[in-house]
Amino acid sequence: MSPTVEVRAIDALEELQTSLVRYADQAQATLAAIAREVQRTLDWLEERQRHWRAEVQRGREEERRARAAYERCLSSGDRDHPPSCGREEQAFLDARRRLAQAEAEERMATQARQAVQAEAEIYARDANRLHVTLQTETVKSIEVLRSKVTVLRSYASGGMSAGGVLAGALAFGAGVVIGAAMGRAGEDGPSSASGVPDSSGRELTLQERHPDIHDILLNMIDFSDSPVHDAADYHKVSKAEMVAGFEKLTQVRRWIGEGATEQQLYDESRAKGLSEVQSYHNIYRVFYGESAIALEKVGDRYRVLNGYHRLAVAQELGWTTIPAKVINS
C-alpha cells in the first residue's frame, strides 16, 4: 500500500468518525426539539380543555338564569291576561344553544388531547430507544473508530514497533484497543482513551499531539467575510450549545497548559457522566483535532478558512485568543 493511499484511507476513517459525532449531536438535538414541540401541543390542548370547561360552567349558569327568568315571566300573568315572554324565551333558547356548543368544544378538546397523549407515549418509547442507541452503540462506534485511526496514524508515521504493528492489526480486526500503540491493555473497551506513546512508551501530552495548533489573537483575524450575524445563523449546532462548549474549552486549555494527556480528558468526562458529544475529549477534538479552526496568514492578519461560528462566539464572550491552525505559517 502506498503512503498516499494509506493516508487517504485514514482520513476517510477520521471523516466517518467526525460524521458520527455530528450525527449523534444533531440526532440528540432533534429528539429534544421534537419532545419540546410535543409538550407544547399537549399544553395547548390542556389549556383548550380548561377554557371550554370554564365556558361550560358559565353556560350552565347562564342557562339557569335564563330559564328562571322565562319561568317567572310565564307565571306572571293569568288566564285573561297571558304574559308576553317572547324575549325571555329567546334568551333561554340562545343560552341553551351556547351551552351545547361549549359542551361539544370541551368534548372535542378532551378527545384531541387523549389522542395526542396516546401517540406521544408511543413516540416517547421509540425516541427513548433511539436515545439509548445514541448514548451506547453510537458512542462505542466513535470510540472504536478513534482507536483505529490512532493505530493507523502511528503505523503510517513509523511510530510503532513490529510488535505494535501486529497489535494494531489485531485491534483493527477485533474491535478492541490493544498493543504497544495504546500503551495499555484493552480491557476497558471503547470508553478508554487512545493516547499515542512516544518512542519511550510515554503517552504524549495533548500539547505534543497537536503542535500545529497555536493561540491566535482574535483582533488579528479578519471577520469581514463572516456569514454569522445573529443566533439564526447557527444551524448544525445552536449558539447556546457552542457557548456551553466554550465553558468546557476553558478547562481543556488549562489542562493542556498543565501537560494533561488524552486519557485524563476521558477520565474527567467519565467521572462527570458526560456523553460523547458533551465530553472534554470531544471539545479537544473540535478545537485541536481534525475540526480545528483553520486560518491563512495574509500580511499581518489572518483570513478565516473555517470556524466562523466558533470565532463569533469567542468574540462575543470577550475572548482575546483562540486555538487555531495556521495553514501557511
What ranges in the chain are assigned the alpha helix state H?
Answer: 3-74, 86-133, 139-156, 162-174, 206-209, 239-257, 262-271, 280-288, 308-316
Q: What is the pTM of this model?
A: 0.43
Long-range contacts of 180-185 (CB under 8 A, 24+ apart): 181/150, 181/151, 181/154, 181/155, 182/147, 182/150, 182/151
Alpha carbon 168 to chain centroid distance?
A: 33
Cα separation, 159 vs 246, in Å, equals: 33
**Rounded (5°) CA angle 38-42-48:** 145
Note the pLDDT of residue 203.
76
Task: List the chain domain ranges.
Answer: 3-140, 205-329
Residue 216, SS3? strand
Pairing outcome for strands 301-306 and 294-298? antiparallel
Note the pLDDT of residue 167.
42
Cα separation, 254 vs 256, in Å, equals: 5
Cα separation, 324 vs 314, in Å, equals: 12
Residue 258, SS3? coil
Sign of CA dihedral 89, 90, 91, 96: positive
Which candidate, 29, 10, 26, places its Cα nearest to that of 290?
Answer: 10
Sequential pLDDT tens for the chain (329 residues): 444 445 556 667 677 767 777 777 787 788 888 888 888 888 888 898 899 999 999 999 999 999 999 889 888 877 777 888 889 899 999 999 999 999 999 999 888 888 888 888 888 888 888 877 776 777 677 777 766 666 666 655 554 444 444 444 443 443 333 233 333 333 333 334 445 555 555 678 888 888 889 999 999 999 988 888 888 888 778 888 888 899 999 999 999 988 888 888 888 888 888 877 778 888 888 898 878 898 999 989 999 988 899 999 999 999 999 999 998 75
